[in-house]
Amino acid sequence: MASDLSLYNVRTDLALEAKELATPPGGGDLPGVWSEEESGGGITVSRMHIQTEEGAQKIGKMIGHYVTLDVPELRRGDTDLQDKVATAFAKEFEAFLSRIGIDKTKSVLVVGLGNSNVTPDALGPLVVENIMVTRQFFELMPDQVSPGYRPVSAVAPGVLGTTGIESSDIVFGIAQKSSPDLIIAVDALAAKSLERVNTTIQIADTGIHPGSGIGNKRRGLTKDILGVPVIGIGVPTVVYASTIVNNTMDLVFGHMKKHTEKTGALFGVFGDMQENERLGLVKEVLQPLGHDLLVTPKEIDKFIEDIANVIASGLNAALHEAVDTDNVAAFTH
């Protein structure tokens, strides 16, 4: 029987994790959900298409296409690997553009969501800093724009707590004035698994809902709300303390089982519980005490700059035909 995510208040922004949670313990396909996976060069690309309302309800995500790039070694700061990830990201993003009919001349607005003063939430604003914006040239000197570029604008609207205005309302106003053909929303996410923090990039053509992974229900940036297609890009940078406890218990269980077969008395009822059940119990203990904190790795300062550069490089290469992964460094810093 599939797990009811709402029962245990399990939050994740990653569609791939939501699918894993919804899949029965014995495995098998979920109705209305298509998926495939390929690996190479240290990068695992998972593609998923939620095709029906039944599939969307089971997973808890909107109907649409989702791509996840898992790169376990991304935390190490390997610049060669970062270049490979930027190239793979650009390739997958170009497929999204083609799928929704955004050709090489269509205008794009890149929105960097998040609080630039909070390091793990600063992904969006940092990506915007590295985006190659060109709309002003098309507006002011169109005859001098070289072939291979498109109108691109970018904005970091801040957060409700500092502006007093919903990010989606700010973006809606900008979109009404500038009339982009596509909006790209970049935001930091929350994960359910420690392994995916700072190692994963998600792309989705369903838009994005700021704060959903940490329980802050803000108005989303979606096609229904903004009137134009929205592609969401996110990287999980935080995880709940309850998740750390639960993952640690899994590691302890696995370690002990390698050394003894008599684990029943040691683990007791915990050993028989499903992962979601155990996580629910941990949350039940921690949340009333206010101890289910959001945690980010200590290397977040360096990582957030690196991954923002990776995403910006990939976007610049995907959006502008004249830019590729060989010369993209000239357009970022």
205 in Cβ contact with 100 (< 8 Å): yes
**In the predicted structure, residue 226 carries a pLDDT above the cut 50:** yes
**In the predicted structure, residue 175 carries a pLDDT above the cut 50:** yes
**In the predicted structure, residue 217 carries a pLDDT above the cut 80:** no
Distances (CA, A) of 233 to 89, 177, 265, 317: 10, 23, 45, 15
Q: How many degrees, rounded to 5, is the angle at CA 327 between CA 325 and CA 333?
A: 95
Q: Rounded distance, CA 45 to CA 34, Å?
A: 14
Q: Rounded distance, CA 315 to CA 96, Å?
A: 12
| pLDDT for res 147 | 93
Place of tokens 């990201």: 89
Q: Percentage of the chain with pLDDT > 70?
A: 90
Task: Check residues 22 and 316 and name the one with the higher pLDDT.
Answer: 316
Q: What is the pLDDT of residues 84-128, one digit of tens each?
A: 999 999 999 999 999 999 999 999 999 999 999 999 999 999 999
Provide the 10 A C-beta neighbour count for residue 243: 25
Q: What is the pLDDT of residues 124-146, one digit of tens each?
A: 999 999 999 999 999 999 999 99
Average pLDDT score, the chain: 88
- Beta bridge partners, 65, equal 49
**In the predicted structure, residue 275 carries a pLDDT above the cut 90:** no
| DSSP state letters, 36-93 | EEEEETTEEEEEEEE-SHHHHHHHTS-SEEEEEEE-GGGGG--HHHHHHHHHHHHHHH
- In the chain, where does the domain assigned CATH 3.40.50.1450 lie? 5-242+293-331
Radius of gyration for the alpha carbons in the chain, expressed in angstroms and rounded: 21
Which two tokens mark 149?
Answer: 């570029």
Q: What is the pLDDT of residues 249-268, one digit of tens each?
A: 888 888 887 877 776 666 76
| pLDDT for res 283 | 84
Sequence-ordered list of residues with C-beta below 8 angstroms from that of 214, at least 6 positions apart, any chain: 11, 190, 238, 294
Q: What is the pLDDT of residues 196-209, one digit of tens each?
A: 999 999 999 999 97
Q: How many degrees, rounded to 5, is the angle at CA 158 between CA 153 and CA 164?
A: 125
Question: 245-267 burial, b if ≥16 CB within 10 A, otherwise e?
Answer: bbbebeeeeeeeeeeeeeeeeee
Distances (CA, A) of 173 to 135, 226, 280, 311: 17, 9, 41, 25
Residue positions counted in the chain: 333
* The CATH number fitting domain 5-242+293-331, selected from 3.40.50.1450, 3.40.605.10, 3.30.1300.10, 3.40.630.40: 3.40.50.1450
Q: Burial-class residue 150 by CB neighbours within 10 Å (0-12, 13-18, 19+).
A: buried
